[in-house]
Chain A
Amino acid sequence: MKKVFGKPKSLKDAVFHYCPGCGHSIIHRLVAEIIDELNIEEKVIGVPPAGCAVLAYDYFDIDIGESPHGRGAAVATGLKRALPDRIVFTYQGDGDIAAIGTAETIHAANRGENITVIFVNNGVYGMTGGQMAPTTIIGQISTTTPGGRNEKRDGAPIDLSEMLALTDGTVYIERTAVDTPKNIIRTKKAIKKAFRVQMAGLGFSLVEVLSPCPTNLKLSPVQANEWIGSTMTNYFPLKVIKDKVGKLGASPHLE
């Protein structure tokens, strides 16, 4: 018997602290698999957010530079400019990137910093107990919108990826999800492409991943995944939002 699936080697043996059914652990695994496949373990630097994924340094066997809340893109800019031969990625949640760090993110994107951003969108502030985030969808119940988000009172959900696509510096932006095996495989492809865009020095790449937060959605993990497919994707459709790169397969130096 041949082993065809196991733990990627750039993850440590630590057990994930995430809740049952959390999308973070799946995305961690995908990033680790990509690091293994591209063989960049020695020169990749991760920048985790404030949020549930703040403990990413416990799980990844790579260099990690923690950032203040929301300032992942700014910290990554510094790391990339000081060490241009490294591959720098930030891993940020929706409260981190779309509320507290909007300014840093937009300006890093507009400058066309050669970094990769992984934007995990679960529609709530997960770590602090499920308060309304900018990406909470209309009618969604959170601890600060007990009657559901109301567009007149709370505003409409912000679509940060589409906003960033308007800036000239961004080259590759895609929105995917981790609700089904098919979408997980697509997410892996998208993140891999984003890393390769950076390795080719083409500019700012971002992958937005819709991820379930069963604990704060007050749903079972299976129901939370169904909710992403049936409800959340109406506000955040899965698609390639911007692709100035095209196919990367033709560049042999990337393989």
Chain B
Amino acid sequence: MATKSKRGLIKLDAELCKGCYLCKSVCPLNLISISDRLNQKGYHPAIYIEDDIGIKEHKCKGCALCAIVCPDIAIEVYRE
């Protein structure tokens, strides 16, 4: 399991997302928000807000709670 020093990241496939936002409701660090854009299915997908910043500044620990609740397996989790 992740220790305190470990960092992680998630890859969220916006085209698989159906906008249920369960991931947003369980993230302990509030790192998931809702996109303004629509995906091809017509939902506003969830987005991971640390996508554009370097791994060193990531707050995400890769706990995978978001991936565990995601019904559509749109989230992959990576850990150091």
Contact = CB atoms under 8 A, between A and B. Distances in A.
Interface stretch (A16-24, A106-114, A230-238, A243-251): A16-24
Contacts of A6: 73, 76-77
A11 B8 CA distance: 25
A25 interface: yes
A4 B71 contact: no
Interface string A1-37: 1111111000100011011111111100100000000
Contacts of A16: 71-72
A15 B26 contact: no
A185 interface: yes
Interface residues of B, number: 27
A230 to B, nearest CB: 15
Interface string B46-67: 0000000001000000101101
A6 B70 CA distance: 11
Contacts, number: 73
B9 A25 contact: no
Contacts of B77: 3-6
B65 A21 contact: no
Contacts of A4: 8, 62, 64, 77-79
Contacts of B43: 20
Interface in B6-33: 8-9, 16, 18-22, 25-26
A11 B73 contact: yes
Interface residues of A, number: 29
A221 B79 contact: no
Nearest to B10: A5
A1 B19 contact: no
Contacts of A26: 69, 71
Contacts of B26: 180-181
A1 B73 contact: no
Given A21-B22, A181-B65, A222-B21, A3 B71 contact: no
29 contacts: A1-B55, A1-B80, A2-B79, A2-B80, A3-B76, A3-B77, A4-B8, A4-B62, A4-B64, A5-B67, A5-B68, A6-B73, A7-B73, A7-B76, A15-B16, A15-B72, A16-B71, A20-B18, A20-B20, A21-B18, A21-B22, A25-B71, A25-B72, A25-B73, A26-B69, A180-B26, A184-B68, A184-B69, A221-B21
Given A20-B71, A221-B21, 13 more contacts: A4-B78, A5-B68, A6-B77, A19-B18, A21-B18, A21-B20, A21-B71, A24-B71, A26-B69, A181-B26, A181-B65, A184-B68, A225-B22
